[in-house]
Structure 1
Amino acid sequence: MSVQKQSVSFTEAAYAFAKELVEGGEYPNVSAAVSGELAKAKAERDRAHTMLEAELERRLSLPLDEWEPVGDVSQVSVGARAYLDSLAAKS
């Protein structure tokens, strides 16, 4: 595995958390703590994405007579759009 050296800045709370992980013995140093927690976050996102895809596939494979009726079609994507907006705001 190659290592990319990069200078980054952290909030006090984020740095304190990384130090806490090191002091608790979960990681040997702050750099490993940051890399490890980023790997965990990526794995969680990948898992959530895989679950979403599986659920969409499941729903799309249902016969049409088993689909839930939709009242106001203009509101179908409101929840999805709000979720995507929240993800964009976090970036």
Structure 2
Amino acid sequence: MKEEFAMHEVTLNSLLALTNPTQYRIGREHIFPSDASLQWFIRKNKVVLAKAGAVVKPAGHILINQNKFDVAVLEIGLICNQLSEG
């Protein structure tokens, strides 16, 4: 179990960055216009998001690390764009 925690440095700032999906959407409605669109994105990309530490499920419900999720959204978008061009 120690090795798993070593993968992601846990700090107070990390915990403060966690929010629920509905709160995460505030200010990002231009990307995720509905809760359903965000839920779909999380389902479609759950492995990548989990590996990036962008989503966690500490108490049985999804919480989003806002900073890491923002970076992951951009990276996933760039990859999808490259795949569609090639």
Return the TM-score normalized by structure 2.
Answer: 0.30
Of the two, which has the highest radius of gyration?
1
Return the TM-score normalized by structure 1.
Answer: 0.29
Q: Which has the higher contact order (CA 8 A, sep 6+)?
A: 2
Higher strand proportion, which one? 2
Higher helix proportion, which one? 1
